[in-house]
Amino acid sequence: MIGFTFRHQHCYTEHGIVMNSKSRPILPSKRRRQVEIPLRNGRYEFEDETYDVRIIEVTCFIDAATIPNLRQKIREIAAWLSKKGTLIFDDEPELSYTASVFSIVPLEQIITAGIFTLIFECYPMAQGRTITEAYTVTQSPQELRTEYRGTAPAKCRLILANTGSSPISNIKLLIGKEE
């Protein structure tokens, strides 16, 4: 059974929710930037590589022993889903999404069971885990390389620390991608 973890709580383990993916798009929609110019045909389109939010929909099923017990579980689930958090799916544990539930979540109740659809609005790209690589420079000049393994542009933070007793000078950094 594939589920998800949101805000450090697993849907099944913590809340008894059985999940079925409804829509987990391969790519979010690109953000459209167009301007209509008076007295000109068509539109001017600003071309860029920005994306809109990613919409992920999952259908959930929950069961309880009694109707009051179901209502209590639903209130606990509502509190859990009411804030922004990290969303991780069991079948992609190395990736996460920054997500929120903004839409109303209607519940279809059948005696002591309930079915509902969650619509997560997420940052457009999945985020991988932070990778830390440490290098020791032992000679001058010395070339060090690190490889970016993601499929979307991502920010990088480079920290240089002198752990020796001698001052360091004339550091040169070349950051870019090989063509």
Task: Name the pLDDT band for 120 (thresholds 50, 70, 90).
Answer: very high
CATH node for 4-128? 2.40.30.200
- CA-CA-CA-CA torsion for 144, 150, 154, 158, nearest 10 degrees? -20
Question: pTM for the complete prediction?
Answer: 0.77
- Percent of the chain at pLDDT above 70? 98
Alpha-helix runs per DSSP H in 49-161: 67-81
- Residue range 117-130: mean pLDDT, rounded: 91
- Output the pLDDT for position 179: 57
Return mean pLDDT, the chain.
87
Domain spans, the chain: 4-128
Please give the single-letter amino acid code of residue 19: M
Q: Is the pLDDT of residue 19 over 90?
A: yes
